[in-house]
Amino acid sequence: MAQEIEIEFKNMITVNEYHSLLASYQQSSNNIKTQTNDYFDSAQFALRDKGAALRVRKKKDGLVLTLKEPAQKGLLETHQVITEETFHSIRETGVLPEGDVSKQVVNLGLTDNLLHLGSLTTHRAEVKLTSGLLVLDHSEYLGHEDYELEFEVTDYEQGERAFHHLLREHGIEIKKAKNKIQRFFIAKQKQI
């Protein structure tokens, strides 16, 4: 089974802070990769209500179906590579293909068909630091744009210290970030 625990710290940043960080870490437009997440849930938002999220991420090299669910520290991610044909089938029928993700969704108690909620496109720059992976994201979804700093680590306590040091070093105010799916849901609910 393709699973991993994701430990990351997030902070919303301004467009100016985003560009300043890109410059500080010598990231040009050549370093920015674009990826699109398509989000799914039941009509009653059963996954969201359990703190989980289901997405298909489209990157240059293919499609990955991912379920994120709460873990003791961070998030448990279950991944499954899918084809373009399978992605279209999920969108049309609301039924997941057999595999690790489907099993985890059933374990969460969801048996309803899924609805495609929409897409979020992220323009991402990644910088490997000795203390973790710095990720700078510019996201576009449902007529909204935002900027976010993510810091991915393997050790929670050390990562938290390094994250706060990074914010202080660049003079960035702490602005707690909801994860992308939560921000997407908030924007979606405003449309309804």
CATH number of domain containing 131: 2.40.320.10
List, in order, residues 6 or more apart from 159 with CB less than 8 Å away. 7, 9, 131, 132, 151, 153
- 151 has which bridge partners? 9, 134
Distance of CA 49 to the CA centre of its chain: 17
What is the mean predicted confidence (pLDDT) over 34-44?
93
- Mapping DSSP onto H, E and C, the string for 45-95 reads CHHHHCCCEEEEEEECCEEEEEEEEECCCCEEEEEEEECHHHHHHHHHHCC
The stretch 58-80 carries a mean pLDDT of: 89
Which residue has 């710290």 as its token pair? Answer: 9
pLDDT tens per residue, range 114-171 = 999 999 999 999 999 999 999 999 999 999 999 999 999 999 999 999 999 999 999 9
pLDDT digits (tens, 9 = 90+) for 95-118: 999 999 999 999 998 888 999 999
pLDDT recorded at residue 32 = 96
Question: Is the full-model pTM beyond 0.75?
Answer: yes
Q: How many structural domains compose the chain?
A: 1
> Which residue range(s) make up the domain with 72?
3-191
